[in-house]
Amino acid sequence: MINKVELNDINASSISVIMVSYMTGPALFEAIKHVILDTKISELIIIDNGNPEQVREKLFLLVKSYGHIKVKTGHGNIGFSKGCNYGAKVASGNYLLFLNPDALITKNSATKLMNLGKNLKRPWITGGKLINSRGEEQRGSRRGEVTLFSSLLTVLHLGKKTIHQENNPLPNGAIPCSAVSGALLMIDKSSFQIINGFDEDFFLHVEDLDICKRAIKKGGDVYFLPNATAMHYGATSDIVKIKVELQKLNGFKKYFIKHRKYKLEIILIYISLPFMALYFLYKATFSSDKKI
């Protein structure tokens, strides 16, 4: 975890988009194009955690063509959370939009998320609606409270309420929720500093649940805005799926331990780990579902 988020020259209402990319594939340049088309976005920072040389060459050509694009490379695969913190450190905007490199943001969505945040209690976080290529809401855009117990009930289909809310009726406006997706997540720099950025112990996945949980624990607001949207491909990185699922397992283990309410709960967490491992192994082997 970072000790301090350094604030560069902060512009009062400027938006910096931060993309962390690792072997993303062609979707990366589609995502960049959609950011460029939104003239309300002041800056795009691409953290290159590891892309082929030909991709980096294309990225640097974009830097030459567009003065508001920055590419940071040469640091290796430092993980998603650390990459986000790196991007926040070099960002000049006062509003940080963390956007997946395979998410095509709709014009003015960044501004909508910013304007919503201006009316919320710090440390605040806002998130938008992720949709698939068919226009359907994806899992993860809005979530109920994620605990060991709520997660087990969801996986085992033992309760009417689940942590997933994508099948609930879409609200007419902004609503508070327990967590939004890190694929389309906005926060202002002051809030980011209050909660000390992303926890770098989370290498890949679950970092969004953690940062939302910490914002709420600090007395802040986390809101979902349905009319701020991005089309999210999902699972575009050229990574063996079992490795991704193992990262999710490790992330959830850390999350449950970190945010447990009772000391003895850690015993239940470790008892549950083998079953969690089987679940993620099943998803990696048989499931076509790309989201937890």
Give the whole-angstrom CA distance, residue 200 versus residue 177.
23
List, for residues 194-235, the tens digit of each pLDDT value.
999 999 999 999 999 999 999 999 999 999 999 999 999 976
User: Which domains are delineated in the chain?
Assistant: 11-238 (3.90.550.10)
List, for residues 5-18, the tens digit of each pLDDT value.
344 444 568 999 99
Which of 6-20, 42-56, 65-79 bottoms out in mean pLDDT, i.e. has the lowest? 6-20
Give the whole-angstrom CA distance, residue 35 versus residue 101.
10
* pLDDT computed for residue 161 by the predictor: 66
Over residues 72-92, the mean pLDDT reads: 97
Q: Omega before 52 cis (within 30°)?
A: no
List, for residues 239-290, the tens digit of each pLDDT value.
667 888 888 999 999 999 999 988 888 999 999 988 888 888 887 777 555 4
Please spell the DSSP secondary structure of 88-128, one letter per residue.
HHH--EEEEEEE-TTEEEPTTHHHHHHHHHTTSPSS-EEEE
Q: What is the pTM of this model?
A: 0.90
* pLDDT computed for residue 194 by the predictor: 98
From start to end of 116-257, where are the E strands?
Answer: 125-131, 142-143, 175-176, 179-180, 184-188, 222-232
Compare 167 and 136 and report the one with higher pLDDT: 136
